[in-house]
Amino acid sequence: MAPKRSYLATICAVAACALSMSAASVPPARAQDQASTHDTLAPIDDRALAAALCPIVYEVDHFPSPHGYRYIFYGNGFFINKDGYVLTAAHVLSQLRGGQPSLLLRTPGAPPQFVQATVIAIDRDHDIALLLATPNPFAGNFAVSFLPIDREIPKPGRSVLAADSRPARPRDAYTLDPAVEERSAGQVLDFEFSQLSKGPVDTELFLFGHAVQPGQSGAPVISLDSKEVVGLVEGQWLRDNTTALAAPGNRPSLGGAASLPPSQAAPIPGAVIPIHYAISLLQQRGIAWQSSVDTDFAGGPGATASLPAPLSLIPPAYPQWLFGGEVVLDAEVTRAGTISDVRVVHGDEPFLDKALAAVRTWIFQPARVAGRASDARISITLQFAQPYVPPRASTEHHYDADSTPQNAAARPLATFEPTYPASSSADGSVILYESVDRDGKASSVQALTELETLTPAALNAAKEWKFEPATQSGAPVESTAIIVFTFRHPLATGPVTK
C-alpha cells in the first residue's frame, strides 16, 4: 500500500505507564529469528518485555501510606540498553510542566521503587525523548531488562504489538496498587505524514489496527516477526474515513502475550512514531543500541573499506503546493553515520524546508578508510515531480558545474523527472542509491524504497541523469548519491499524449 499524505491528523495524546507487581528477575530481552511465514509467529517473552517497560512518573509523597508511596504518572517508557537509557514520547514529559521525572521500577521480592530520570535529549518535531535512569538500575537490585531495536519499518500487513502497563487511577496512584497490563496487537495499515509540533517539520507515522488506550503513549511497538521495537505509540489517529483502514480481521497469535478477540478490532487506528527518529537521536548522541543486525552502531565490526551506505531514510512529505520542485544538497556523512554540514546547491521553498528536515534524520553506515570510520560527502537530490499531466514546465533541469570543487559530493548537471504511469494511482516516494564513478557516470543504481507501480518510472528517469564527479583535494573520486523521487497523483490539465 502506498504511503499517503495527511495534514488533517489530530493526535490524541493520552499518556500513562506503570509496572505490575510481579517481582521476578528476568534476563535481557534477546532478538529472535523471523518467523518463516507471516502466520506462524514465535511467542514473545512477556516477562522480559514487562521488565523492559517503565512508567514515567512524578513523586507526590516522600513518606509511605498503607498503600505505599503516592505518585502521578504521565506515560510509558522502555529501556534500550544496559546503561539505563530510556526512550519515550516527548509529549509525555511535557505534561510534567518542568517537574522532575522519575521511573517506577520493580525490585525482586519488594514493592516497586522510584529512580530519578535525567532528560538527555528531546526531539519535539518528531515527539521523541531520551532519558537516563540515575543511578543505573542494571547495576542495582532491580528486575529490569531492555529491548532490541529493529531499524526496518514494518510494511503494511505485518503484525505488531504495543505493550504497556498502567495503574487504575493515573492521577492518584500508589506503589502498592495493582496495575493494568495491556498487550495490543494489530496489523500495520498504512503510512501518513503529520506535523506533531508547531512548525514545518513533518513526521511519517504508521497506523496499526488497534485503538490506542489511555496510558499507551510512549509504549514500545514490537514487530511480531523480528521481536524488536519498530516504533513508539503516539496516540489515536483521528481523521475522516479511517474506519475502513481498521476493518476487523484475523489477529496473530502472540504466544506468551495476551491477545484480544477479533470482535474487538478497533474502528479507529493507533498512530506509531517509527523507531527511525529515535535511532537518529541516539546516533547524534553517540548512544549504543542493540539490534539483531550487526553494524557499527549496534556493536558489529563493520566493513574494512567502503563508501557511506544508507541504514534508514525517511523521505519528506509532498508540500501542499500546486507545482513541483527540486532540492539538490551536498552533505557530509560523519564517522558517526549522521548528516552534517549540509550545503544547499539548489532549492526553493516550500520544498527546501521539507527536504532539510527529513535529511537531517537520516542514518548511514559511515565510509571506512583502512578499516576506520571516516567522514565523506554524499550527493542528495530530492525531486518532487510536477502533479500535472501533461507537465506545466520543463521536466529537465540543468545545473552549472562547481568552479571550485576542492572537496565536494557529486553534483547533478542534468536531471529528468519521471513520467507518471497512466496505470498507477499511488502517492509516495521511491529512493534510489547510486554509485558515481570518477567520470561522473552512475556505475550502479539500487532501489532502497520502492513503490510497485512507480519504481520503474524512477529508475528509467535516473538512467538519464548526468553528474559532475565528486572531488577530494581537487581530484575526482568515486562517490555515492541518493535520489528521492516523491510522487503525487497528477491532475489532468489537457489532452494526454501517449
pLDDT in tens, 435-474: 999 999 988 899 999 998 999 999 999 999 999 999 998 8
**Cβ proximity of 446 and 313 under 8 Å:** no
Are 78 and 33 in a shared domain? yes
Q: Which amino acid is at 440?
A: G
Task: Look up the CATH number of the domain holding residue 225.
Answer: 2.40.10.120
Residues 64-100: tens digit of each pLDDT: 899 999 999 899 999 999 999 999 999 999 988 889 9
| Same-domain status, 104 and 181 | yes
Same domain, 17 and 149: yes
pLDDT for 90: 96
User: What is the reported pLDDT for 382?
Assistant: 97
On whether both 214 and 326 belong to a single domain, the answer is no
The verdict on residue 450 lying in a domain is: yes
In angstroms, rounded to a whole number, what is the distance separating the alpha carbons of residues 103 and 119?
Answer: 12
The verdict on 206 and 64 lying in the same domain is: yes
pTM metric for this prediction: 0.83
Residue 136 lies in a domain: yes
Asked whether the beta carbons of 11 and 237 are under 8 A apart, the reply is yes
Domain extent for 251 = 10-275
Per DSSP, helices labelled H in 69-130 are 90-94
Residue 240 confidence class, pLDDT cut points 50, 70, 90: low
Q: How far apart are CA 388 and CA 490, in angstroms?
A: 5
In a domain, 281, yes or no: no
**pLDDT, mean of residues 220-225:** 96
What cell does 54 get?
A: 517503565
**Is residue 81 located within the same domain as residue 129?**
yes
User: Is the same domain home to 195 and 311?
Assistant: no
**CA dist 119 → 101, 127, 334, 368 (Å):** 8, 14, 25, 33
Tell me: do 248 and 330 sit in the same domain: no
Residue 456 lies in a domain: yes
Mean pLDDT of 205-230: 92
**What is the number of domains present in the chain?**
2
For residue 391, name the pLDDT band (cuts at 50, 70, 90): confident
The CATH number assigned to the domain holding 307 equals: 3.30.2420.10
Mean pLDDT, the chain, integer: 83
The answer on 315 and 263 residing in a single domain is no
**CA quadruple 225, 227, 231, 237: dihedral positive or negative?**
positive
